[in-house]
């Protein structure tokens, strides 16, 4: 069976994970290791008036108790947001100071004020309990509305009214005029619930300072170790890049939450220098709820106007986004360039305007979580279109069909330029797989059993493969979003591929090797993928935004191109032929139409022995490349959910869930389908189960798996996952990316199905049984078939 | 401190541990068998599942001293030369992504197949999904985990 592009090859990395030999950060033990335990604020907003460490310092095993004044005194810099967004009036965003250990004010429960270093984890935790911090408690703004109310407590001095920015995109007057002239206008208030990402491996770090050459090593749970090193060096001033090695070994899931450098990693590095011990910290789950960046948390008002035929004429969106207590690394980009730019959906909409008010609150920082802005956009667009169809008495599939983008490239009014797609093809495929036309009979059958059956669809689109560096630079990004790769052919013909992408579940060790195996016609097992270590890989921007395929693999292809050039030159020289007469494959380089050939390994050996190379050729066979994408990629798809609601209890059962995606060229369909399954599960989690909840005092009420409902196996059905792919035209492999699609398209499909079942469009996420039951009661919804 | 002795993966082990030491910490920190993971602190996620005297147990919810004299099997001890059919099934069906929940899933999977076989009951998809109530995976959506356990159930 082929091992190349398109083959469902079993994963190379599985053996170590299925046998317990994976190496995650907490599995690593350093000599002379001590443990960090953080002293965290129990208050959501308070002045720190005194920190008494005497009792803690007297306890057995305690090495040091360190605080924010010492940290800033040693020159450790504040944590920054790396994407500059300006308000409507041109003023820059109001970024408040975020010290890794709070100096005088705490702004959310979990804000760290001190750290205890001790010989054992138990000793560190026990000592942290007796660090006596005195607080003057301040008023709290625990949600968006409280934060922007008049008289709200000021969370950061430089953000008046707790506003970070008041941003806009699109043509306001034209959009207002289009909606004013519309034959039908649909208006909705839409909330996107706050989520906790919850990778199963919690964050962890082990920092070691080597006094002999002033060098630091950090093992940490990162999706992008080079970006971590960059910000730790350039902004947090822990150490210059050449004195800091960051290693992200096996990482147990990320979903965005492990993009960022958090206070704990900074403090571990700094404390390793202060104490001359390796410092280990592993978050427990409760601490993860209190400190990991959350996702989503939008409140939106939307208006969509249609002409008499049902064509969309204008779309106006006003969103308030909760940023939490501090601006996390990519936070500012999420509700702007990753959200509002996708508000055209899969539709040809001539006029779009969106304004976004970014707001501080006394809650965890909020940043990218699987999908990051695009799920919020998809949810707004697809709930609006569905509701509009119901209000106008139109078939929701036909209304979508009528408005689909059909010609490519397509320039939307909100920056994005869609390169390819066949949206109707995916709609048709999903409707056939869902047996859409047979639904009314199933609904009647369910009604006869006293159940309310509903069907709903969503046609999402997203922008992946982030991103063209110059374009994002012009929009405020502080970094370029290219990717790098190096392909090393060894003297025996085996190949190491070094990539700046990072795999934390995505299966790069298999899929990346498949691409190289096909390219050079060598066995999959002769290829190793190396990633996650700043001392091995020169640089990389990491894995997020479904970019490893479209951007990371493109860099590998570019490096392979360069290797091939050299291979051809060497082989042509040795075989005494022209380079263009050679074919590469089946582990050899052959002169076409003859029996003259060199084994692939012989070319490698020739390159390294250098006994007989073309004149002026350098020995060796390795090439590097940086690939900067020319455009975003645009995966899209149609998801259909069919649900059954029990009106007696409000419980919803998902009867069937169908996904038809367009991911462009697929390397490994087994892995791609796995990505879709996981995304759908997270989308169902958002739609029906998950929500981070704070009380008015800023106490998180959902801070454990006893309180925050993670999707379990018996909450979910098996999924029907299909593909109708069109090739991406802007990268060499034609890949669009698949990592986030499931989480983007699923929430609106599920809510459209449940609202169809209960006949009430006001349902909000998560659609818990109590919420659904209450709506059925209040609206007096009746089983339609009765 | 208390002396605990047990058999882990067929090998007799003994150590002096603090009374409060959890079985999972004994396995990870004293025996350095790091395939058994900790994913939560409320006994919900099942990343720490091991077999104690042949039954699946959450090692985060049991003291090491409670396992004194017990026969313990961890993920490192299930393969007998070749991969266990459950380990192979997870590879065959792409039943894992990041791998963190996988050891607990495999240990729970083996236990459920053994129990259903002993009781002469059929382990269908509904039963597997119900039995997995104590194991959380954030990557796979469980779809391929269910398929993996179904395959192994046919082979064990």
* Domain co-membership, B38 together with B96: no
Q: Where are the domains of chain A?
A: 14-138+200-253+258-291, 369-460+631-779, 482-627
Radius of gyration of the CA atoms of chain A, in A: 27
Beta bridge partners of A231: none
Is A222 at the interface with chain B, CB within 8 A? no
Q: What is the mean pLDDT of residues A744-762?
A: 97
pLDDT greater than 50 at residue A395: yes
**How far, in Å, CA of A354 to CA of A318, rounded?**
6
Tens-place pLDDT, residues A687-719: 999 999 999 999 999 999 999 999 999 999 999
Nearest-CA residue of chain A relative to B47? A200
Per DSSP, helices labelled H in A235-335 are 263-275, 285-291
Q: Which of residues 552-581 of A touch B (CB under 8 A)?
A: none
Per the CB < 8 Å rule, is A22 touching B132? no
B97 and B58 within one domain: no
Mutate to test the interface with A, among B61, B64, B105, B142 (most CBs of A within 10 A): B142
Nearest to B141 among A24, A122, A677 (CB): A677
Query: DSSP states of A397-465 as a string?
Result: HHHHHHHB--SSSEE-SSS-EE----HHHHHHHHHHHTTGGGHHHHHHHHHHTT-EEEEEEEEEE--BS
Among the four given CATH numbers 3.30.365.10, 1.10.10.10, 3.40.50.300, 3.40.50.12780, the one describing domain A369-460+631-779? 3.30.365.10
pLDDT-above-70 percentage for chain A: 99
Q: What is the pLDDT of residue A2?
A: 84
Please state, in angstroms and rounded to a whole number, the distance separating the CA atoms of residues A22 and B8: 19
**Contact call for residues B13 and B29 (beta carbons, < 8 A):** no
A579 vs A467, higher pLDDT: A579
Q: Is the pLDDT of residue A786 over 50?
A: no
For residues B69 and B9, membership in a common domain is answered with: yes
| Exposure b/e, A464-490, CB count within 10 A at least 16 = b | bbbbbbebbeebbbbbebbbbbbbbbb
- Sequence-separated (6 or more) residues with CB below 8 Å from residue A53: A65, A67, A114, A131, A132
Share of chain A above pLDDT 90, in %: 98
pLDDT band at A779 (very low <50, low <70, confident <90, very high): confident
Query: B100 and A201: CB-CB below 8 Å?
Result: yes
Tell me which fold the domain A482-627 belongs to.
Answer: Aldehyde Oxidoreductase; domain 4 (3.30.365)
- Tell me if chain B has a CB within 8 Å of the CB of A507: yes
Give CA–CA dist A705/B136, Å, rounded: 10
- For residues A479 and A234, the answer to whether their CB atoms sit within 8 Å is no
Task: Please tell me the predicted confidence (pLDDT) of residue B80.
Answer: 87
Half-sphere exposure of B80 (CA within 13 A, CB side): 5
CB contact under 8 A, B140 and A678: yes
For the stretch A366-378, pLDDT in tens is 999 999 999 999 9
- Asked whether residue A452 carries a pLDDT value surpassing 60, the answer given is yes
CATH number of A14-138+200-253+258-291: 3.90.1170.50
Residue A523's pLDDT is: 97
Alpha-carbon distance of B54 to B76, in angstroms, equals 15
Q: Sheet holding A495-499: strands in order across?
A: A527-530, A495-499, A483-489, A622-627
Question: For residue A135, what are the CA distances in angstroms to A38, A56, A114, A363, A689?
Answer: 17, 18, 13, 18, 35
The residues pairing with A52 across neighbouring beta strands, listed in sequence order, are A132
Domains A369-460+631-779 and A482-627 share a fold: yes
Which residues, at least 6 apart from A626, have a Cβ–Cβ distance to it below 8 Å? A482, A483, A484, A555, A558
d(CA A10, CA A155): 51
Residue of A251, A199, A222, A143 whose CA lies nearest to A710: A199
Domain final position from B77, B112, B141: B77
Res. A781 pLDDT band, cuts 50 70 90: low
Residue ending a domain, among B30, B55, B77, is: B77
The lowest-confidence range among A112-121, A476-485, A643-652, B138-147 is A476-485
> Do B100 and B148 fall within a single domain?
yes
User: Mean pLDDT of all residues in chain A?
Assistant: 97
Residue A385 has pLDDT above 80, yes or no: yes
Residue A192, SS3?
A: strand
Instruction: Determine the pLDDT at residue A612.
Output: 97
Domain count for chain B:
2
Domain boundary at B77, B110, B140, which? B77
- Torsion angle, CA of A236/A626/A337/A182, rounded to 10 degrees? 180
Distance separating alpha carbons of residues A36 and A248, to the nearest angstrom: 19
**CA triple A497-A599-A552, angle to 5 deg:** 20
B90 in the same domain as B64? no
The answer to whether A676 and A430 have CB atoms below 8 angstroms apart is no
For chain B, say whether A704 makes contact (Cβ under 8 Å): yes
Residues B60 and B8 in one domain: yes
**Over the stretch A16-27, which tens digit does the pLDDT of each residue have?**
999 999 999 999
At residue A547, does pLDDT exceed 90?
A: yes
Same domain, yes or no, for B67 and B116? no
Q: Verify that B70 and B6 share a domain, yes or no.
A: yes
What ipTM describes this predicted complex? 0.98
The closest CB to that of A706, out of B36, B44, B102, belongs to B44
CATH code of B113's domain: 1.10.150.120
From A18, A505, A712, residue closest to B133, measured CB to CB: A712
Q: What is the DSSP secondary structure assignment for residue A735, as one 8-state letter? A: B
Are residues B64 and B100 both part of a single domain?
no
Beta bridge partners of A639: A458, A659
Please report residues of A whose CB lies closer than 8 A to that of B87: 18-19
Q: Are residues B28 and B64 in the same domain?
A: yes
Mutate to test the interface with A, among B94, B99, B105, B151 (most CBs of A within 10 A): B99
Tokens 């427990």 found at? A284
CATH value at residue B39:
3.10.20.30
Under-70 pLDDT residues of chain B: none
| Burial bucket for residue A88 (CB in 10 Å: 0-12, 13-18, 19+) | exposed
Q: Residues B24, B73: one domain?
A: yes
Average pLDDT over residues A734-752: 97
Q: Does A689 touch chain B (CB under 8 A)?
A: no
Residue A639 touches partner B, C-beta closer than 8 Å: no
The arithmetic mean of pLDDT across residues A404-421, rounded, is 97
Distance from C-alpha of A330 to C-alpha of B98, rounded to nearest angstrom: 23
The pLDDT of residue A784 is 46
Distances (CA, A) of A282 to A114, A199, A423: 16, 14, 45
Q: Which domain range does residue B36 map to?
A: 2-77
Chain pair A-B, CB pairs under 8 angstroms: 180
CA distance A756 to A759: 5
- Closest Cα in chain A to B132: A713
Calpha distance A433→A660 (Å, rounded)? 9
Could A507 and B97 be called an inter-chain contact, meaning their C-beta atoms sit closer than 8 Å? yes
Reported as a single tens digit per residue, the pLDDT across A248-303 is 999 999 999 999 999 999 999 999 999 999 999 999 999 999 999 999 999 999 99
Q: Is the pLDDT of residue A785 over 60?
A: no
Query: Which one of A19, A255, A675 has the shortest CB-CB distance to B76?
Result: A19
Phi-psi map region of A237: left, alpha, beta (phi>0 left; psi -120 to 50 alpha) = left
């Amino acid at each position: 069976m082929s091992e190349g592009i398109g083959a469902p090859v079993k994963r190379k990395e599985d053996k170590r994970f299925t046998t317990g030999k994976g190496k995650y950060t907490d599995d690593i033990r350093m000599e002379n290791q001590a443990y960090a335990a953080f002293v965290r604020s129990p208050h959501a907003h308070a002045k720190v008036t005194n920190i008494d460490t005497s009792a803690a310092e007297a306890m057995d095993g305690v090495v040091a108790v360190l605080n924010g004044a010492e940290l800033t005194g040693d020159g450790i810099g504040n944590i920054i947001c790396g994407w500059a967004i300006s308000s409507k009036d041109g003023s820059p965003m109001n970024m408040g100071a975020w010290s890794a250990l709070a100096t005088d004010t705490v702004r959310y429960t979990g804000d760290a004020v001190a750290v205890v270093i001790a010989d054992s984890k138990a000793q560190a935790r026990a000592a942290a309990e007796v660090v006596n911090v005195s607080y003057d408690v301040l008023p709290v703004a625990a949600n968006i509305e409280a934060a922007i109310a008049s008289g709200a407590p000021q969370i950061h001095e430089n953000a008046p009214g707790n506003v970070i920015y008041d941003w806009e995109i699109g043509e306001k007057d034209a959009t207002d005029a289009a909606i004013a002239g519309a034959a039908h206008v649909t208006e909705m208030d839409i909330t996107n619930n706050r989520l906790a990402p919850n990778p199963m491996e919690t964050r962890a770090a082990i920092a070691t300072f080597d006094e002999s050459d002033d060098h630091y090593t950090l093992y940490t749970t990162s999706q992008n170790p080079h970006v971590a090193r960059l910000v730790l060096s350039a902004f947090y001033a822990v150490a210059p890049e050449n004195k800091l090695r960051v290693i992200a070994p096996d990482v147990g899931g990320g979903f965005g939450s492990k993009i960022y450098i958090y206070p704990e990693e900074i403090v571990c590095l700094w404390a390793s220098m202060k104490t001359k011990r390796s410092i280990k910290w592993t978050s427990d789950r409760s601490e993860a709820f209190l400190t990991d960046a959350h996702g989503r948390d939008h409140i939106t008002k939307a208006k969509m106007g249609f002409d008499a035929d049902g064509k969309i004429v204008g779309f106006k969106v006003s969103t308030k986004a909760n940023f939490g207590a501090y601006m996390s690394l990519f936070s500012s980009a999420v509700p702007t360039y990753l959200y509002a730019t996708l508000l055209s959906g899969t539709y040809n909409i001539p006029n779009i305007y969106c304004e976004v008010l970014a707001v501080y609150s006394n809650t965890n920082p909020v940043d990218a979580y699987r999908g990051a802005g695009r799920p919020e956009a998809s949810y707004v667009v697809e709930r609006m279109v569905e509701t509009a169809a119901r209000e106008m008495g139109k078939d929701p599939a036909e209304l979508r069909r009528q408005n689909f983008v059909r010609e490519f490239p397509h320039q939307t009014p909100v920056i994005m330029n869609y390169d390819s797609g066949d949206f109707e093809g995916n709609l048709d495929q999903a409707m056939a797989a869902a047996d859409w036309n047979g639904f009314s009979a199933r609904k009647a059958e369910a009604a006869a059993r006293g159940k309310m059956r509903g069907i709903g669809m969503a046609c999402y689109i997203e922008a992946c493969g982030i991103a063209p560096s110059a374009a994002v630079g012009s929009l405020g990004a502080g970094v370029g979003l290219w990717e790098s790769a190096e392909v090393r052919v060894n003297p025996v013909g085996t190949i190491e591929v070094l990539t700046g992408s990072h795999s934390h579940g995505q299966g790069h060790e298999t899929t990346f090797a498949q691409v190289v195996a096909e390219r050079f016609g060598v066995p999959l097992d002769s290829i190793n993928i190396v990633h996650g270590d700043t001392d091995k890989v020169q640089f990389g921007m990491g894995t997020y935004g479904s970019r490893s395929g479209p951007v990371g693999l493109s860099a590998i292809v570019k490096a392979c191109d360069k290797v091939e050039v050299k291979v051809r030159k060497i082989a042509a020289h040795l075989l005494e032929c022209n380079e263009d007469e050679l074919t590469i494959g089946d582990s050899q380089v052959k002169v076409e139409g003859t029996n003259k050939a060199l084994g692939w390994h012989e070319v490698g050996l020739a390159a390294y022995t250098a006994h007989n190379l073309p004149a002026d050729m350098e020995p060796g066979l390795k090439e590097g490349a940086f690939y900067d994408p020319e455009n975003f990629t645009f995966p899209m798809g149609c998801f259909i959910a069919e649900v059954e609601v029990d009106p007696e209890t409000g419980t919803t059962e998902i009867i069937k869930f169908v996904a038809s995606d367009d991911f462009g060229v697929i390397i490994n369909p087994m892995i791609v389908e796995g990505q879709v399954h996981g995304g759908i599960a997270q989308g169902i989690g958002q739609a029906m189960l998950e929500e981070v909840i704070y009380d008015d005092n800023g106490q998180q009420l959902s801070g454990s798996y006893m309180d925050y409902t993670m999707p379990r196996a018996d909450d979910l059905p098996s999924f029907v996952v299909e593909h109708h792919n069109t090739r991406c035209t802007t990268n060499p492999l034609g890949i669009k990316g698949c990592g986030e699609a499931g989480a983007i398209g699923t929430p609106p499909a599920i809510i459209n199905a449940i609202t169809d079942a209960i006949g009430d469009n006001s349902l909000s996420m998560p659609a818990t049984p109590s919420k659904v039951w209450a709506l059925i009661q209040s609206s007096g919804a009746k089983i339609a078939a009765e | 401190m208390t002396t605990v002795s047990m058999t882990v993966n067929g090998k007799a082990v003994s150590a002096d541990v603090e009374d409060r030491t959890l079985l999972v910490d004994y396995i990870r920190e004293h025996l350095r068998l790091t395939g058994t993971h900790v994913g939560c602190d409320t006994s919900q996620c099942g990343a720490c599942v091991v077999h104690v005297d042949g039954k699946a147990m959450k090692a985060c919810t049991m003291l090491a001293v409670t396992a004194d004299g017990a026969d313990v099997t961890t993920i490192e001890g299930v393969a007998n030369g070749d991969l266990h059919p459950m380990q192979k099934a997870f590879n065959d069906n792409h039943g894992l992504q990041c791998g963190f929940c996988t050891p607990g899933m495999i240990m729970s999977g083996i236990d459920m197949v053994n129990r259903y076989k002993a009781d002469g009951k059929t382990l269908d998809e509904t039963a597997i999904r119900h039995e997995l109530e104590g194991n959380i995976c954030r990557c796979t959506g469980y779809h391929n985990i269910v398929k993996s356990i179904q395959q192994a159930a046919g082979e064990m």
